[in-house]
Structures are given as C-alpha cells and as structure tokens.
Amino acid sequence: MRELPVIVLGGAGYVAGELLRLLAMHPHLQPAAIVSRSQAGKAVPEVFPHLRGVWDTLKFVGEDAVAGVLAGAASEIAVFSCLPHGEAAARVDRLLDEAVASNVTLHVVDLSADFRLPSVAHYEEVYGGSHGAPDRYDAFTCALPDLEAHTPSGPVAHPGCFTTAVTLACAPAHVGGLASGPFRVAAVTGSTGSGRNPSPTTHHPERHGSLKAYLPLHHRHAPEMSMLLARVRDGGDEPEVLFVPHSGPFARGIHATVHVELARAMTTEQLLALYTKFYADAPFVSVSDQPPVLKEVIGTNRCRIGVAASGSHGVVFSVIDNLTKGAAGGAVQWMNRLCGFEPDAGLRLPALGWN
C-alpha cells in the first residue's frame, strides 16, 4: 500500500487538530512532522486531549525538523498548511523551494486565505497587507473539490468554511442560469470558526445562548464566493453575493440559508431535480426537499442541501461542519485527488450525532 509522509504547518490550531483526527483513519497518509513553534517538544495529546490513545507517541516539532523529513523522503510528501492568513504564503513558498533543492515532489494544500483570491492585488485589497510570496501566487488553484472537474497539477488553496457552504448551495442555480438577481445569504457559524485564541467577541462564553450578525455585506469570504461561482460556470461575470454572517451559540458547524430570485417559476420538485442531477457525481454532497439539520453533518466531510421553491422564489439551505468539510476534511479530499488516492480515503465518517 502506497504511503506518504505528511508535514503539517501550524500544527497546534483547531484545524490541525481536526486534520490529525482524520489522518488517524487515513490508509495512505502518515504524519512525519507536526510543526508548531509554540508547542514543539510536547506530545500531541497534551494539546489535543481528544486524540489520546491515537497519537500518544507523536510529538510537535520545530521548523528545523522539516529539513530532515525532506532529506529522508523517497520522492513525494503531502503538506497541509494550517498557518494563519498572512503567515502561510512565505513559509509555503520557502518549503516549495527547499523541496526542489531536495528533488522531492510536494503535494500542497493551503488552508489559509493567502492564495485564494484571483490576484495578489485583490488579496492585498481585501486583507489589507502585502502578500508574502507574490511570485508564487499564480501557481495555486483555489477551487472546491466537489465542483472542480480537473485535478490541478500544482498546489491547491482550499476555500474558506463559509465559502464552502454557500458556494455549494448556490452553484447549481448559478450554473443553470436560474438566478435572476443576487444571492442573498444569511449563515450562522460555530465558535471554532474563530480559532483557538479567544477575543472579547468570539470567546464561546460570550456567544453561548446568544446570536448576532457581524460584518454584514462586508465579510472577506464574499469575494471568494463570487469568484468560485464564476469559475464553476467557466468564467464570465461574478454573481453578486449579499452575505450576512452570524456568530452562533454552538461550537462546530455552519448553517446557511440562501434566497434566490428564480429566472422562471419553479416548484420544489423541479428545483430538487435540478440540484440532484447537478450533484449526482459528488459523493460528499446530498440534496433533499427537506431543510437539513446541522447535527446530521457534524464530524463529517459532508454537505447536506435542502431546497424549496414557490413560483419565482427559491430557498436553498446548506449545512456543513466548518472544521471538517469547511477546512480539514476538504483539504484531505483535495489531497486524495492530488495523490491519486480513493476519493473518500480517511473520510468515511458518520456524524457525531448528539455532540
């Protein structure tokens, strides 16, 4: 059985912890270096107690350990970058250069926003800072594995969690030319989407028992949604996405509701048939005429979509686990594509149910 060593950059955050949970069940990917400046030398269960009994002997390492993995690799390595936005680009760029010098092929999936948007200029406009590796930018492909027919030949930038949920909800209507106006989106995310370090507005005790909107119509994931919807329709104009995110009182998951003004009158049955046909070959996306329930997908790499239509108005619901389908699981799904593994390797996961 073909096995590849895995390097995880930014190994101590929530997404990296979820990635390690998935790698414990992956038949082909074996952790070789879980890199963390802050946790180097500690055993993985000291930082992620839920992984005790799985990765007891695996330790976090410093940056200097990466050179040893490159030197010891036969020919190819899988790399997941879980570094924060603004930090990933320069580090991934150096690692790719180091791999060329070591004659090693890297399969790279970056989970930050550093290579997602169409250009360096667009990135710097949205994120308000200079890019860490502008000459590397065009080498990356930003796309969702469920919507991309061709496997990229180079590194991949996995879209954000909100972007994953919303784009999967909107894509069939956009590709089919059904949307006559903007996609109007309200989406609620759990507290893990804010990362490991709490702030006064994201700390879970502040969110528990409450619900609030933030950055209405100005969230930085909205340009990703428009970009990917244009991409899945083979280019053309980017559709307008009027996006209002909400902070939810739960830890994991995203629930998105999309209102669509339809170009022609449709019934729920007709809209369901269109969505079902569109996702017929997407094993991680299922469609129903019933609104999906968030707990049906928590802990999985699945997206569940529900549709309803009345005349010229349609509503599409989308639920995902932000840490799995929206981040680590989507990254593993991409890595399986890049490496030629089974599409569901490491991702045959039932939902957690009563989480």
List, by residue number, the catalytic residues: 161
- Look-up of token digits 């030197």: 71
DSSP category for residue 264: E
| Angstrom distance (rounded) from CA 317 to CA 31 | 36
Question: N- to C-terminal Cα distance for the chain?
Answer: 34
DSSP category for residue 173: H
Closest CA to 73 of 23, 30, 12: 30
Secondary structure (DSSP) of 340-352? T--TTTT------
Closest CA to 162 of 17, 294, 327, 279: 327
Element spanning 305, H or E: strand 303-320
* Dihedral angle of Cα 190, 157, 112, 45, to the nearest 10 degrees: 70
* Dihedral angle of Cα 105, 59, 159, 135, to the nearest 10 degrees: -50
